[in-house]
Amino acid sequence: MRQDALPAHWNLPAAEPERQALAPEQAEFRAAVAGVRPLPPSNLVEHDKRPPPPHPLQHIADERAALHESLHGFIALQDRLEGGDEPHYLRNGLAQNVLRDLRRGRWVIQDEIDLHGLNRDEARQLLAGFLAECLHHGKRCVRVVHGKGLGSPQKTSILRQLVRGWLAQRQEVLAYCQAKPPDGGEGALIVLLRNQK
């Protein structure tokens, strides 16, 4: 179709839309970003949609206390002795029957972690993560295997004493006792955790 065959008003240049008056802040912003170009696609970063879950302050305080104790605390002579009473712990304010029921096996062991063979820092970190996961999933009774120390040069389990101390410092731990022989005996603890709710 030829241009001269079209009506004359069709050949007129298109009118530019009227610009609305910009507020001073908008005009300033447009002037500031006038030379800006978008990043090429290879340099774009996709951010997570959800923010990470918050870390509870008590959990952080427990971790700091456990780390300080493990690095700077000493192990009492009584705790180093192999014999003696079976190790146990009961949080202040709880009835003795809680510990008695734990010793008698009235709680079903729902999960376990094996720490023996690990160094102090690895064991502390894995134990903290394990307890947090168990609490999150509503697991109340767990077994913590720390070993008997038979593979250590002195044939004593330093990790056993550390694990007891770490557990006693944790807010989520209500009680623990030595496992029965089929469940690990002197090389393991049965731990009762608080209810998540």
For 135-162, the pLDDT digits (tens) are 999 999 999 998 886 666 665 677 888 9
Indicate the pLDDT class of residue 112, thresholds 50, 70 and 90.
very high
- Helical axes 120-136 vs 158-169, angle rounded to 10°: 40
What does the alpha-carbon distance between residue 155 and residue 89 come to, in Å, rounded to a whole number? 24
* Residues 157-167: b if buried by 16+ CB within 10 A, e if exposed: bebbbbbbbbb
Indicate the pLDDT class of residue 127, thresholds 50, 70 and 90.
very high
DSSP secondary structure letter of residue 192: E
- CATH for the 57-193 domain, from 3.30.1370.110, 3.40.50.300, 1.10.3720.10, 3.40.1190.20: 3.30.1370.110
